[in-house]
Chains A and B, each alone.
Chain A
Amino acid sequence: MVKDKATVVVVGGGATGVGILRDLSMRGIDALLIEKLDMVNGASSRYHGLLHSGARYAVRDQEAAKECIEENTILRRIGKSCVEAISGMFVQVEGDDPDFVDPWVKGCAESGIKTRELSKEEAWSLEPNLSRKLVRAFEVPDGAIDGFRMSWQNVQSAARYGGRYKTYTELIKINVESGAVKSITVRDNVTKEEYDIECEILVNAAGPWAGKVAQMAGLDCSVSPSKGTLIAFNQRISNRVVNRLRKPSNGDIFVPHGSITILGTSSITIPDPEDTSTSWDEVEELMKTGEGVFEHLRDYRILRVFAGSRPLYVPKGADGGRNASRGFVTLDHEKEDGLKGMMTICGGKFTTYRLMAEKFCDVLAPKLGNTAKCRTAEEDLVPAVSEADKKAARQYFPSYGVNLAATRLGTEKFPEVVKTLKENPETREVLCECENVTMAEVMRIAQEPTSHSVADVRRRTRLGMGTCQGNYCAIRSAAIANKLFKNKLEGCGDSLSDMKNFLQARWKGITPVMAGKTLREAEMTRGMYEVLFNVNGGRR
């Protein structure tokens, strides 16, 4: 049954998909994005959150390096509420190849990336935790970016231009008639309803799943999912991004975000992009390498370990993994395979998501007779919340939390939440102390049509992502949010099961690092939820 139609349907709610949705919408093209789970659940949130300066690619891939520095500059301008505008360092420690430095400095200069060499003393004074085995250090314009927020802000920006999106909507069939895509069949993963959506052009932006989507149309697209494992620590180990100055390898990069630090990553070619499992060996490898940069790394508490799969595009006959290009490719299946109305975008990296969308839409738009220019670099992702609104908010919640809430909620929802806080003092309760999330904010996000479980609320608010990893906010958010969801996700039908699922998802990231201080947290989590609350139920 045909239930919906759009000129362009974009498959995939990662950085690539949301970038294209925004670009198309700003060009005035009617576009709908579908995502099989919640927005940003794949590689766009399962990565460092590094806004590359491009320096990492300066030796091997100067084209990528140039793209990175240009996009880095643009995102710092248009994405002020999702970019943490810090800087970065490249450090060489004893044992690293000294001959790598000169070509790297030269490569950066040629790519337009400013570097400045720091004396060891200066480097240590800026980042006191850096290893005493430091040899050389350079400053570069790296930054940090919140993948969840960036993606949602793209979606919100697109929505202002008429762009639409449906989460928990999975592509299950591509309907082709006389050599052209006519419609797609999707399944609503919340209500289990199946229906058709008509479209003129289907965009496959499914990242590591792009090969699977192409297969539905009988096409071959060689995407090699490459798993990257990352470790989150419970504090800022440095105030800058810290990279190892050597040939790019595993465990080279530390990125501070808010109150935590992320170390990554590995690169393992895997057959199934759904595989986000992690092992002791991967953790140990990252820790060993990481210790080279921060000697006391093992004394920090690990919050969790997680993995995502990169969508590396592998032209036939080429290598995958670390050697595969981080570049991207646009496939027009009309040209390549004789199938009208379908295009695939493959590969690429988070930092250049906007540029990828621009180049892709420059090919797509003319097919629809649209000649509008790309405007995504000109306009901020979201308008800034006004100082007056922030000032009003400071009366009702901790001032540290005001900026966080403002960037999470944006210009429309933030004043609404402040109004709730004002009128209903009970909603001032801080449900998540780690990330400063009030009850009012949780209630507001729970009422979004895209919220079906506490985990969905988590990705929008960062609730449970901080240092307590959900120990305290699990009960609070389940009690407050679960009853507000219009449609609930399978297995999250009541507050208790929603709470258990939420904690289980946190547990997944904790199990591979169950040592050190993490054990202590685990014993507390179990003491609270198993002993005190007996969440498995009573008289079994």
Chain B
Amino acid sequence: MSKSDVVVIGNGFAGLMSALVSADQGKKVTLLSYGAGTFPLNSGVIDVLGYDDSGKAVANPAQAVSAVADEHPYKKIGTQALEESVKFFQDVVAAEGFPYVGSLNEQQWLVTGVGTLKPSCLVPESMQGSKCFEASEIVLVGIKGLKDYYVDMVAENLAKELGNDKKYTVVTVDPHYQGARDLTTKDVASWMDTEAGYADFVSQVKGNAGAGKVILVPQILGLKGNVVYKKIVAELGCPVVETTAMPPSVNGLRLRDVLLSALKKKGITVIENAKAEEAVIEGSKAVAVKAGGEVRLQTYNADKFIVATGGFYSGGITMRDFGEAKEVVFGLPVECDCVEERWVNKQLFSDKKQTFAKTGVRVDATLRGVNESGNVVLENVYVAGRNLSGYDFCFEHSGNGVALASAYKAAKA
């Protein structure tokens, strides 16, 4: 029976970052992994705070973060931890050869997979949509047979966002795919990783490249970091920009691979397919979690635990019946305002936050779960990422920002 200094539960962005920061502190870390977190879903960009409570775009995330409501995780994390976490993240990905662009003092603008613009804070070099602002012509590249990327729709909406004084040209690239099933961005990215595929693609796009232009493509510039991106920008001589994408997002997978590589270098033990089922508690401390596959549970002992199992989507928080919300591993106290009139906005794309989305573990400034009187429940269990209560990451565009900063703070504690 092994014992670690820290056991991190969950291998989404919050889990991987918790493990990395913990290891950086010289701790012996075990990461229990199950599934792939939301990497395939979130395009691997670090949104810190895109919109404020009234739905207005945030120009300066650092400033806006200091003004959030008391219930918000950022309030508990504090701006210092946020700033340090951003630096930590940028150092990690840069060291892995996959640098992210941006700072807490301004927004990067992404072009989405439907042609709208989206604010984010840190983005990979290949997704700097802001480059479209100065261009006189946007060359929109569609891929024949690619599912979930409709270049006409992207052109229609992008022209609305950027105005009609720019020229919008649509080019369709034929990947000469002969198979019978639908193509995903991942398939096309793999094709771009091959020399022949890359050359084929470039030959079909090259005629449209040139000064003053931006080449806008779906997330297809290879699966391996920024290798294809660097090559193609040099070859075409003008900016190339990737959009966000329907799952499975290629850039989400790139970021995951890069972080897993960093984890490996730090000597972090990753246990695959280990779904944490229950915790062993002694007094006010957790001593172990039991996790495993379908047949037998293994016991993982540690001095400290970081819960990064996610929210409703990832299954870290569940609510089988109305009002009965649970944190599934430790049974930490969950904040849930389950009143029919407030629980769900009648409008899906609403101008205010969704109450149900704020459901999560109630924590104090140390990011440990607290009961209704504010007393810490388990003194060595910390919470990071979407497990936390008090924010609506979809409304605010703050998901990976909260994940990063809370992971950093939880790991440092």
- Residues of chain B lying within 8 A (CB to CB) of residue A488: none
CA A538 to CA B129, docked complex, whole Å: 12
Could you tell me if B315 and A532 are in contact, using CB atoms closer than 8 angstroms? no
A96 within 8 A of partner (CB): no
A residues lining the B interface (CB < 8 Å): 279-280, 298-299, 425-426, 429-430, 472, 475-476, 478-480, 483, 494-496, 499-500, 503-504, 507-508, 511, 514-516, 519-520, 522-540
Could you tell me if A531 and B116 are in contact, using CB atoms closer than 8 angstroms? no
Could you tell me if B41 and A522 are in contact, using CB atoms closer than 8 angstroms? no
- Residues of chain B lying within 8 A (CB to CB) of residue A530: 349, 394-395, 397
- Residues of chain B lying within 8 A (CB to CB) of residue A534: 50, 112, 116-118, 397
29 A–B contact pairs at CB < 8 A?
Answer: A299-B320, A426-B145, A429-B147, A429-B182, A476-B148, A478-B153, A479-B114, A479-B150, A479-B152, A480-B150, A495-B150, A495-B156, A496-B157, A504-B349, A507-B348, A523-B311, A523-B394, A527-B38, A527-B42, A529-B348, A530-B394, A532-B112, A533-B116, A536-B349, A537-B117, A537-B161, A538-B118, A539-B57, A539-B109
Q: Say whether, besides A483-B152, A503-B348, A523-B357, A535 and B116 are in contact (CB < 8 Å).
A: yes
**Binary contact track B334-354/A, C-beta < 8 Å → 1, others 0:** 000000100110111100001
Measured CB to CB, the closest approach of chain A to B58, in angstroms, equals 11
The DSSP consensus for interface residues of chain B is loop
- Residues of chain A lying within 8 A (CB to CB) of residue B150: 475-476, 479-480, 495
Could you tell me if A538 and B109 are in contact, using CB atoms closer than 8 angstroms? yes
Which of A298, A472, A475 is in CB contact (< 8 Å) with B320?
A298
Could you tell me if B322 and A496 are in contact, using CB atoms closer than 8 angstroms? no
Could you tell me if A515 and B319 are in contact, using CB atoms closer than 8 angstroms? yes
Q: Say whether, besides A532-B244, A533-B244, A539-B117, A516 and B319 are in contact (CB < 8 Å).
A: yes
CA A515 to CA B312, docked complex, whole Å: 10
Number of interface residues of B (CB under 8 A): 58
B47 within 8 A of partner (CB): yes
Measured CB to CB, the closest approach of chain A to B337, in angstroms, equals 13
Could you tell me if A535 and B114 are in contact, using CB atoms closer than 8 angstroms? yes
- Residues of chain B lying within 8 A (CB to CB) of residue A535: 114, 116, 349
CA A533 to CA B153, docked complex, whole Å: 12
Q: Say whether, besides A522-B312, A532-B245, A515 and B321 are in contact (CB < 8 Å).
A: yes
Could you tell me if A519 and B114 are in contact, using CB atoms closer than 8 angstroms? no
Q: Say whether, besides A495-B156, A534-B397, A538-B57, A515 and B148 are in contact (CB < 8 Å).
A: no
Measured CB to CB, the closest approach of chain B to A275, in angstroms, equals 14
- Residues of chain A lying within 8 A (CB to CB) of residue B344: 511, 514
Q: Say whether, besides A475-B148, A523-B357, A524-B313, A532 and B346 are in contact (CB < 8 Å).
A: no
Q: Say whether, besides A516-B321, A522-B356, A494 and B156 are in contact (CB < 8 Å).
A: yes
CA A92 to CA B114, docked complex, whole Å: 53
Which of B144, B312, B346, B394 is in CB contact (< 8 Å) with A531?
B394
Could you tell me if B43 and A538 are in contact, using CB atoms closer than 8 angstroms? no
B399 within 8 A of partner (CB): yes
Could you tell me if A525 and B116 are in contact, using CB atoms closer than 8 angstroms? no
CA A537 to CA B118, docked complex, whole Å: 7
Interface of chain B residues 151 through 198 with chain A (CB within 8 A): 152-153, 156-157, 161, 182
B385 within 8 A of partner (CB): no
